[in-house]
Structure 1
Amino acid sequence: MDSIDLEVLKTCDLWLTGGQQVALVTVIKTWGSSPRPVGATLAICEDGRVVGSVSGGCIEDDLIDRVKREGINLGRPELLTYGITADEAHRFGLPCGGTIQLAIEPLSEKSRIPELLQRLSKHELVARRLALDSGLVSLLPAAPEDNLNLSEQALTSIHGPRWRLLIIGAGQLSRFLASIALAMDYLVTVCDPREEYRDGWQVEGVQVLHAMPDDLVLEMRLDSRSAVLALTHDPKLDDLALMEALKSPAFYVGAIGSRLNNAKRRERLKEFDLTEDQLARLHGPVGMYIGSKTPAEIAISILAQLTAVKNHVPLAAALSIAQAKSVLAS
């Protein structure tokens, strides 16, 4: 499952290859409340078809109508602002008088979309610099902390995964987790030294490695944009990897298991050289309580919790699996 950004770029390439006129629309600035974040993209074809989103739908409708009436005849990139007045904000569905500024870029061979896609297929993080006066594009290496930047001369957008997720254990649950995480723009790695689990496990875009998990955790040099999920239920595989992950700057470390198994795991981890603060970083039983039963529902529960932690959103204790089940059992 591709991320929205990747789906938009692939669609641009497909339409261009088919000889159609295409424009790439990018959110470059917002004021007040806005439905889509800076960097969100939309591809629009000369016949009005769109992929992606820059708003809740009203701005898309206006862009489609504009293309159908006028075509895509821009000589160079254009900046367009919606929602300056209260009436416009209401018309375009921008809440609380929000305002959104877009860059509309007519695409051609000089847009370098195929080359960008090729680099993204190698999991590179790429800065795409668009010269506003000529439409010429240059592709440069980017860092995870880089953000979209607009100057008088150029628009630089960032493409590729900025976050990493290591999943320990190749199984059915990890398939759902990996697929959804890919759509969330994570670079996903699955590690499992057990051949019987690893054989036949495949999700397009995910690297599957035969390695001891703790060795891989050290090799990956986890940073503050990294997350680790241990799913094997096997202490020989999970515990050492969790120990190394908890000592790293990873923003999220979680392990699946029952409340009883989680308590036993914490007791085992206390025997390692972990501080109380490091041990407290472990999410387990992993996920938010939503009554999940199936692997797909459990994956949603886990990624919801992971996303809240990534976005620095505090979660009520009642949403933790341990707390919720304790209340239900009483």
Structure 2
Amino acid sequence: MDSIDLEVLKTSAAWIASGRRCELITVIKTWGSSPRPVGATLAICEDGTVIGSVSGGCIEDDLIARVRDHGISRTAPEIVSYGITADEAHRFGLPCGGTIELAIEPLAQHSRIAELLARLDRHELVQRRLDLQTGAVELSAAPPGAQMQVGERAMVTLHGPRWRLLIIGAGQLSRFLAQIATAMDYHVTVCDPREEYRAGWHVDGVQLVHDMPDDIVTAMRLDHRSAVVALTHDPKLDDLALMEALKSDAFYVGAIGSRLNNSKRRERLLQFDLTPAQLARLHGPIGLYIGSKTPSEIAISILAELTATKNGVPTGMLVPHSAAPTAPGAEVCVVETGAV
């Protein structure tokens, strides 16, 4: 789930604990263009305070005005629509005549928000079923392939776990990468067995471990919500970890290095028990071509490619570093603070 939606749940739990009336608003359907996707959430307190977003702002303004004028009086969930007419679409800032349908749920202890957050802290993938007639809530483990569902009787939403990112190598680039990835709601682990690189390395909310990278890859049991990025330039650290990651269900596996170094890496990996199809999953040279040169720019380049892969953007729409134009004889020797 997105970090902003996690903050919505945390804020809602705090309001409930303090005895304040509040509502949870969830986008359940859109037509035409819509600023926020299905599943996006917003919470509103009885004083008009909001956290989260369901539109570009105009629908939020209307929700706030209604709460300030009439308070929060719902006792059961309600489905409401915005943008049915062209005038409403214009009024609420919905482009191209878009329409958005929302589920508005009054929250209380029976909403089980605190229990949901506790399960998310344990990195569980949770299915939350809301009875649209009574407001009763059931929590259960989400089965594989589960998706958000809305029917006449109930709304089922999915929550957690956060996407996971394993970064191999503790350095300046990994610091920027970890900071940005954390803000994007990744649960980030940085692995580096070299004490001299770990000394002084710290990013709030990021776990730093010293085990061998391939052992960490195995222990993490990488799934389709996991990504691995190797940044050490050291085959002794990167290669075995990449081999294990490429055999896993991780949706993204990438390694820093020039085209020449990546070519040599691929030759080495083929000597292990990797298939050509598994090796083809390796992103290297890592990142999208955006002319990046500084560590912060390279981190953005890497996360741009990672995000495009996660979102299923067709490869034909992207220009990876491996396909970027290079002048004859201009192959770059990659270092962590240089071009990817």
TM-score (ref. length: structure 1) = 0.89
Shifted more, 275-284 versus 53-62: the winner is: 275-284
Partner of 1:106: 106
Alignment partner of 1:226 is 2:226: yes
Overall identity of the aligned pairs, in %: 72
State how far apart, in whole Å, the 1-side matches of 2:148 and 2:273 are. Answer: 41
Cα distance change of structure 1 residues 285 and 162 upon mapping to structure 2, 3 Å threshold: same
Structure 1 residues 79-116: Cα deviation after superposition (integer angstroms, max 9, x where no partner): 11112222222222222222211111111122222222
Cα distance change of structure 1 residues 96 and 21 upon mapping to structure 2, 3 Å threshold: same
Cα distance change of structure 1 residues 3 and 327 upon mapping to structure 2, 3 Å threshold: farther
Alignment partner of 1:71 is 2:64: no
The one-letter code of the counterpart of 2:65 is D
Contact 1:144 1:162 in 2 (8 A): no
Partner of 2:264: 264
State how far apart, in whole Å, the 2-side matches of 1:89 and 1:81 are. Answer: 11
Contact 1:287 1:305 in 2 (8 A): yes
Alignment partner of 1:116 is 2:116: yes
Per-residue deviation at 1:144? Answer: 5.7
State how far apart, in whole Å, the 2-side matches of 1:296 and 1:10 are. Answer: 30
Contact 1:4 1:183 in 2 (8 A): no
Per-residue deviation at 1:59? Answer: 1.0
Cα distance change of structure 1 residues 136 and 201 upon mapping to structure 2, 3 Å threshold: farther
State how far apart, in whole Å, the 1-side matches of 2:47 and 2:117 are. Answer: 24
State how far apart, in whole Å, the 2-side matches of 1:250 and 1:11 are. Answer: 31
Cα distance change of structure 1 residues 143 and 193 upon mapping to structure 2, 3 Å threshold: farther
Contact 1:161 1:186 in 2 (8 A): no
TM-score (ref. length: structure 2) = 0.87
Partner of 1:40: 40
Cα distance change of structure 1 residues 305 and 138 upon mapping to structure 2, 3 Å threshold: same
State how far apart, in whole Å, the 1-side matches of 2:318 and 2:86 are. Answer: 40
Per-residue deviation at 1:41? Answer: 0.5
Per-residue deviation at 1:63? Answer: 0.9
Q: Which SS does the other structure have where 1:319 is aligned? A: coil
The one-letter code of the counterpart of 1:140 is S
Per-residue deviation at 1:27? Answer: 0.6
State how far apart, in whole Å, the 1-side matches of 2:195 and 2:143 are. Answer: 35
Q: Which SS does the other structure have where 1:89 is aligned? A: helix
Cα distance change of structure 1 residues 166 and 95 upon mapping to structure 2, 3 Å threshold: same
The one-letter code of the counterpart of 1:216 is I
Per-residue deviation at 1:61? Answer: 1.2
State how far apart, in whole Å, the 1-side matches of 2:67 and 2:220 are. Answer: 46
State how far apart, in whole Å, the 2-side matches of 1:128 and 1:194 are. Answer: 43
Q: Cα RMSD (Å) of the superposition?
A: 2.5
Partner of 2:138: 138
Partner of 1:239: 239
Contact 2:193 2:211 in 1 (8 A): yes
Shifted more, 243-252 versus 40-49: the winner is: 243-252
Instruction: Map 1:71-220; keep pairs closer than 5 Å.
Output: 71-143=71-143, 145-161=145-161, 163-198=163-198, 201-220=201-220
**Equivalent pairs, count:** 329
Contact 1:317 1:323 in 2 (8 A): no
The one-letter code of the counterpart of 1:76 is A
Partner of 1:280: 280
State how far apart, in whole Å, the 2-side matches of 1:111 and 1:202 are. Answer: 37
Structure 1 residues 275-297: Cα deviation after superposition (integer angstroms, max 9, x where no partner): 33332321112111223233332
The one-letter code of the counterpart of 1:250 is A
Q: Which SS does the other structure have where 2:166 is aligned? A: strand
Cα distance change of structure 1 residues 177 and 113 upon mapping to structure 2, 3 Å threshold: same
The one-letter code of the counterpart of 1:74 is R
